[in-house]
Structure 1
Amino acid sequence: MNGLQAYQRVNTQTSITDADPHKLIQLLYAGALERINMAKNRMQAKDYAAKGKLINKAIEIIGGLRTFLDLEKGGELSLRLEALYEYMESALLEASVKNDPEKLEEVANLLRSVKEGWDGIRDEVVQQRQAV
């Protein structure tokens, strides 16, 4: 499943047909963070079925982010991101099994860090696209 399909599957409320690839990845990060926060709330409310569904959706989104990686062009950065995404997926599974809100927060913090970096290059990407 590609990143666009993953996002559409988990977030049908947001229109993404006009989103450029950079914006789509921003939406994926935001969607994963939203699902993790919601899962933490469901975990605290002891609504384990909803928690599991939300964590699974976050894992699907992170899987979608992995599909955007270009390991040939991206070099070491892409390889490191792939490993980080793989770790996040594993940590989310562990958080779900152990009902561990701290593990959810760890993944959320990692995602926020990557998202901040991605958001920071947004203006540069837009300027490059306009120059083409």
Structure 2
Amino acid sequence: MTPGLRAYQRVRLTTATPQELVVLLYEGLVKFTTIGRRDLEARDFAAAGVALTRAIDIIGHLRDCLDRERDPALCGNLDRMYAAWTRAIARSQVEVDLPSLDTVIGQMDEMTATWRAAAIEATRRGGAK
């Protein structure tokens, strides 16, 4: 990674709204899950393990960031979804279950789009945090 790209990414992270940070996490989640799926399909299990472990780490961060006091019901639903994704990713590594990963990636894409729309709406309303 070039110094210029690192600087750009640092600025992007430090100036992002909370909603934009969630979008970045989801984008990384989709990226690493997709890479892991590709590596599993190619039977490169070591590379798949690295990518899918990064995806699980991102899910862990998303779970840690849930504000359970603010909306317990929503956080409970998200937590269950994140737990299901973690199980599916872990199972896919053991069983080389590509269809399960395809399902999870589709769900992640939907959530990314939802958060992207929420970030745009928050910015439109004045950067509500």
Given the two structures, how large is their TM-score scaled by the length of structure 1? Answer: 0.83
Cα deviation for residue 39 of structure 1 reads: 0.8
Superposed, 1:49-128 pairs within 5 Å as 49-128=46-125
Instruction: Report the 3-state secondary structure (helix = DSSP H, G, I; strand = E; otherwise coil) of the residue aligned with 1:120.
Output: helix
CA distance in 2, matches of 1:46, 1:131: 45
Whether 2:35 is the aligned partner of 1:19: answer no
Amino acid at match of 1:29: Y
- Matches of 1:64 and 1:90, distance apart in 2: 16
- TM-score (norm: length of structure 2): 0.84
1:72 and 1:99 map into 2 onto residues whose CA distance is 38
Q: Distance in 2 between matches of 1:35 and 1:92?
A: 11
Count residues in correspondence.
Answer: 121
> Does 1 or 2 have the higher relative contact order (CA < 8 Å, sep 6+)?
2
Q: Give the drift of 1:18.
A: 2.3
After superposition, the CA RMSD in angstroms is 2.0
Gaps in structure 1 of 5+ consecutive residues: 1-11
State the AA in 1 paired with 2:63.
R
Secondary structure of the corresponding residue to residue 43 of structure 2:
coil
Q: Which amino acid aligns with 1:94?
A: R
Distance 2:46 2:23 in 1: 28
Q: Structure 1 stretch 47-56 or stretch 105-114: which is displaced more?
A: 105-114
Structure index of larger Rg:
2
CA distance in 1: counterparts of 2:51 and 2:9, whole angstroms: 17
Q: Which moved more, 1:31-40 or 1:16-25?
A: 16-25
Could you tell me how far 1:131 is from its partner in structure 2?
7.4
**For residue 113 of structure 2, what is the amino acid of its counterpart?**
E
Q: Name the CA distance, whole Å, in 1 between partners of 2:58 and 2:127.
A: 28
Shift of 1:88: 0.5
